[in-house]
Amino acid sequence: MTRPTRPTRHVLIVGNGMAGARLAEEIRHRDPDASRLAVTIVGEEPHAAYNRVLLSTVVSGAITPRDTRLKPDGWWAARHVDVVTGVRVTAVDTAARTATLDAEGEARVVAWDELVLATGSTSFVPPSEGLYADTPGLHAELADGVVAFRTVDDCDRIVDAARSASTAVVLGGGLLGLEAARGLLARGVDVTVVHPQDFPMDRQLDSDGGAVLSRVVRGIGARLVLGRFVVARHAATDDEPAHVVLDDGGALPADLVVVAAGVRSRTDLAVAMGVDVDRAVVVDDRLSTSVPHVHAIGECAQHRGEVPGLVQPGWDQARVLADVLTGADPDAVYEGTSVLTRLKAHDIDLASMGTIDVDVHDPGHEVLSFTDPSRGRYAKLVLRQERLIGAILLGVGDAAGALTQLYDTGAVVPRDRLSLMLGRAITRSGAKESVNLAEMPGAAVVCRCNTVTKGAIVGAFRQGADTVAALADATRATTGCGSCKGAVDGLCSWLRSSEPTPAPAISSPTSRPATSTAPTPEPVPAVAVLTEGAA
């Protein structure tokens, strides 16, 4: 594949995170020979794009930082995407369409035709005494023994600190906080999670589900301090060990403090450019900002008043924007994403999706609930007009796949409600009722951690990867949190029984097929689609 000397336009993507990388990949799917668009990704982090969903797995020691890479070495260069790491964009001239890059004090100016802000978000660090080494601010240094859990380098800092720390306090009982706590527990650290609300993951759970989750978290060895927040952190002295002070005056030992108290969209560059900013960079349905030729996607973008905090909206936005920029579909629009939050921590199986804040006796909905605190199980299903519009699923992994599929497809739910909650719906005649109501397209994502589509799995199978292990090597499906293993296994079994004998097995991991959104020629049974939490 030879790159033309002069592509028509230059797209500059500011931010080398997951959303920006995905946009570049989507552009190359539509413009593989770079005849229309030259693409440059510029990012402050010293690494090429990696999967933030897997960071807690790095902290636990199950995988290495290198395992989080989105693409193998040389992948970007082979597809004519210039990736510039460790560089900050300090200024943008929207009239001249230029950007000033600063790498270790050396500035250079690059021209662009279309600018995409994919700057993501940064950790929110409370202004509590002792957390910062100097004056709080966007680029301020945190004090020794304090780490914000956000990047792969943060994982290195946490792991390094955990080698000598016997106690840790995690600020925040949300998705990242609980994942960080579980990772530290796996390293033998005594962990306390401090959360200002009455139960953890209060944005994804109701009070009953939160109470069960609290019991589960304590059951795996973590301490929970709820309804409190940290007002100060004190380093160790000759007279007393390192500790934090709570708002009620109580103290907790803390050799290490991990901050997972939420994120804030990175909008500093957008503000300096004069782009309209609310809670994030305001974009329309075509992901355009208030300034011509400037776009935004991912966690730094605010669409229809919503700011995504998970991975899947960024994927969907990247697909739409790639259609617009390449001209593959000039009329493409982004209408939002139905997301599912999944806690990826060993010994905790939790998924939350859609509308959950509905009372059991609400006349406009049908609400099913099941509570088994002693076994760490809780389920709540919210139905409207015979369709699943929301669910909380804690410790009921057998049912999660089928229920997630119903939520994603918007299909009519089976009649047997009790069996529905168990994932084994039965018809009135006694026959098993199928939850597969519509075949999913090739673009359906099976492995959210690595963005592997059904089409990619089918393609890899037809090239010879006819076992789950071979598919994992060829596509990386199942190598993240592992929640998609059952779906991949089922898909593989069906293909093995219905397809002709495949070609010799794929042996080289570098020959992984792209996670293409190409349609699948033959219908394939629907599989559960999980959208995990971000990073």
Q: CB within 8 A of 497, min separation 6: which ones? A: none
Quick one: DSSP state of residue 169? Answer: E
Beta carbons of 145 and 123 less than 8 angstroms apart: no
Give the CA dihedral 385, 528, 397, 262, nearest 10 degrees: -90
Tell me what pLDDT residue 521 has. Answer: 36
Topology adopted by domain 340-422: Enolase-like; domain 1 (3.30.390)
Q: Is 256 helix (H, G, I), strand (E, B) or coil?
A: strand
Beta carbons of 390 and 382 less than 8 angstroms apart: yes
Strand stretches in 248-386, DSSP E: 251-253, 256-259, 263-265, 281-283, 294-296, 301-303, 340-345, 348-354, 366-372, 377-384
Cite the residue boundaries of each domain of the chain with CATH code 3.30.390.30: 340-422
Question: Which amino acid belongs to residue 251?
Answer: A
Cite the residue boundaries of each domain of the chain with CATH code 3.50.50.60: 9-120+264-326, 146-261
Topology adopted by domain 9-120+264-326: FAD/NAD(P)-binding domain (3.50.50)
**What is the number of other CB atoms lying within 10 angstroms of the CB of residue 335?**
9
Burial-class residue 364 by CB neighbours within 10 Å (0-12, 13-18, 19+).
Answer: exposed
Tell me which residues of the chain have a pLDDT lower than 50: 1, 4, 426-438, 502-535
Say how far apart CA 247 and CA 462 lie, in whole Å: 60
Q: CB within 8 A of 483, min separation 6: which ones? A: 342, 344, 349, 400, 530, 532
Tokens of 184: 């530290």
Q: Please give the class, per CATH, of domain 146-261.
A: alpha beta
Q: Please give the biggest Cα pair distance in the chain.
A: 75
Tell me what pLDDT residue 483 has. Answer: 64
Burial-class residue 504 by CB neighbours within 10 Å (0-12, 13-18, 19+).
Answer: exposed
Question: Which amino acid belongs to residue 341?
Answer: T
1.10.4160.10, 3.40.50.2300, 3.40.960.10, 1.10.10.1100: which CATH number matches 445-511? Answer: 1.10.10.1100
How confident is the model over 160-203, as pLDDT tens digits? 999 999 999 999 999 999 999 999 999 999 999 999 999 999 99
Strand stretches in 451-533, DSSP E: 452-453
Tell me what pLDDT residue 487 has. Answer: 74
Tell me what pLDDT residue 201 has. Answer: 96
Quick one: DSSP state of residue 192? Answer: E
Tokens of 85: 């790491």
Say how far apart CA 257 and CA 252 lie, in whole Å: 11
Say how far apart CA 506 and CA 3 lie, in whole Å: 28
- 74 closest CA partner among 516, 515, 479, 510: 510
**What is the number of other CB atoms lying within 10 angstroms of the CB of residue 14?**
28
Write phi, then psi, for 483 (nearest 5 degrees).
-70, -15
Beta carbons of 191 and 173 less than 8 angstroms apart: no
Tell me what pLDDT residue 324 has. Answer: 98
Tokens of 246: 């709570």
Say how far apart CA 349 and CA 347 lie, in whole Å: 7
Say how far apart CA 81 and CA 451 lie, in whole Å: 19
Say how far apart CA 89 and CA 224 lie, in whole Å: 41
Cite the residue boundaries of each domain of the chain with CATH code 1.10.10.1100: 445-511
Say how far apart CA 438 and CA 449 lie, in whole Å: 24
